[in-house]
Amino acid sequence: EKGGYDHFMLKEIYEQPQAIKDTFRGRMLVKEGIIKMAGIDDNIEKFKNARRIIIIACGTSWHAGLVAEYIFEEFARVPVEVEYASEFRYRNPVVFKDDVVIAISQSGETADTMAAIKLAKKQGAFVFGICNVVGSSISRITDAGAYTHAGPEIGVASTKAFTTQITILTLIALRLAQATGKMADSEFRSYLQELERIPGKVEKALKCNDQAELVAAQYKDAPNALYLGRGYNFPVALEGALKLKEISYIHAEGYPAAEMKHGPIALIDEMMPVFVIAMRKGHYEKVVSNIEEIKARSGKIIGIVTEGDTEVKRLADHIIEIPETLEPLTPILATIPLQLLSYHIALMLDKNVDQPRNLAKSVTVE
């Protein structure tokens, strides 16, 4: 059942190239320059007229929502808010009838997300669901939706659900940008072409496994860890930290790299591993100067960098290279080494990788 892998988590990490292809299937017609998604096409006027998009989710799905915020605002120029379902539902939030709510949930059973959807519907918003589990409760109570088609995710730590959620949200943002004319056709087409290359690039990123194992061996005994990123990769830093926390029980925090100087930099000493996502595209020089600040305080730097990087390599204690892609698509690739790092650290610490203590796969209670 684990297909030759020791754990479901590892199997699911390695399934990502195929899972992403399955998310595309029948939806992305690259030669024709078309994205076809029934749930969107049937409701395109609602999306086009949206005053704003409110994304609601929990945990890793919330991180996918944060990546989508950057993508939707860049591609479709529509304002986006990303909400924790548990906060949204109890806050007496302002919801307009012309808001489009996107609820993201792998399991489709998360209690807080369900309650947030019901609240938004009651206030008249159109609610679109992104679920992985076909026929799940959330897929049934939403007005329309799309499945990620990632296949069953058994490991409690979400992996392929995250990258396929980002994939489908990218398709939706592109489809909307095309419908509203906010993106030039040539740009739209170049995104489709690059998306088609993403499964192959994820495959290549997975080749960093040995290097991830090496880095894991170095830092497995650290009591704390920091994850930093900027822009599209700030949410990836949050996701990297969550992955480490939930399966290795090492305290980790994710931050936007530039927030360091507003407090967390005080934590840095020679005991602190700092995982920095430093892609060549996207605030590269800024991230490099953030790395210099950490180095000046003797922090240990592990750079997640673009293939062929030289500058971060010079400064970092370790680097892990991933293939180059268009900036908004880098989160899908940058996530891969962070998943593998957490997996190896948890394994080395002899933790139950697939079923971490205190956690359930679906959180059906609030």
Contacts with ligand M6R by CB under 6 A lie at 58-61, 105-107, 110, 113, 156-158, 242, 246, 362-363
Q: Which residue among the candidates 2, 46, 121, 361 is catalytic per the annotation?
A: 361
- Note if 2 is an active site residue: no
Q: Distance (Å, rounded) from C-alpha 2 to C-alpha 90?
A: 40
**Toward ligand M6R, which CB reaches closer, 107 or 330?**
107
Per the document, the length of the chain is 366
Angle at 331 between CA 330 and CA 335, to 5 degrees: 120
Smallest distance, ligand M6R to C-beta of residue 58, A: 4
CB atoms within 10 A of CB 206: 19
Name which of 105, 82, 78 is nearest 93 in CA terms: 82
**Toward ligand M6R, which CB reaches closer, 60 or 248?**
60
**Toward ligand M6R, which CB reaches closer, 23 or 61?**
61
Q: Distance (Å, rounded) from C-alpha 291 to C-alpha 307?
A: 18
Smallest distance, ligand M6R to C-beta of residue 154, A: 12
Q: Are 211 and 320 in contact (CB under 8 A)?
A: yes
Name which of 248, 225, 215, 206 is nearest 353 in CA terms: 248
Smallest distance, ligand M6R to C-beta of residue 26, A: 23
The CB-side HSE value for 173 (13 A sphere, CA atoms) comes to 27
Rg of the chain on CA atoms, in Å: 20
**Toward ligand M6R, which CB reaches closer, 113 or 163?**
113
Smallest distance, ligand M6R to C-beta of residue 197, A: 27
Which residues form the catalytic set? 361
